[in-house]
Amino acid sequence: MPSEDADIQQPPLPQGWRRKAARAPALLFRVGLGPLLGRRLLLLHHTGRTSGLDRRVVLEVVAHDPDSPAWTVASGFGPRADWYRNLRAHPKTVLQFGNRHHAVTARFLGPDDGAAIMEEYGARHPRTARRLCAFMRLPADGSATSLRRAGRAIPFVRLESESAPKAERRTH
């Protein structure tokens, strides 16, 4: 029996100026200004699943466990997002959080985990959670029930560190 979330239409991928605006934070990381973006964004390096080329995307940190360390991110464009599909093919990668690089392995979370994550995120960031759901065309009024339903439809990925942070990379 199909779930009630199976017919949710994902938002269209950005094009034109919206695509450029979405990529602007990556430029800040590239020139060493990533820490100015705060602790809610990270730069994820990923390998193209067909090209094998290094790709980068800036993602919002939905949850962070500094003791592990581990970061949870969401694919706002669903499972069609290139970075998400690339991680499926190559789950071992590197991320930059603040001014540190971490070797990580992607672990793809199930709908029940997503429900709990979105409910907790909504409690911490109610306005942003409602806007995210509206952007993703998910019905959510901010209640715990609607956030849990939305969380079941959003692909979440936990990026788990394999060791201590790598020394900061320097490019000459």
Q: What is the largest CA-CA distance in the chain?
A: 56
Q: What is the strand order of the sheet 100-108 is part of? A: 54-60, 41-47, 92-97, 100-108, 156-161, 70-74, 63-65
User: What is the pLDDT at residue 170?
Assistant: 40
Mean pLDDT of 76-97: 93
Structural domains in the chain plus CATH codes: 21-161 (2.30.110.10)
**Percent share of the chain, pLDDT over 90:** 53
- 3-49 pLDDT, tens digit each: 444 445 566 666 676 666 666 677 788 888 777 777 889 999 999 99
Query: Does the global pTM surpass 0.85?
Result: no
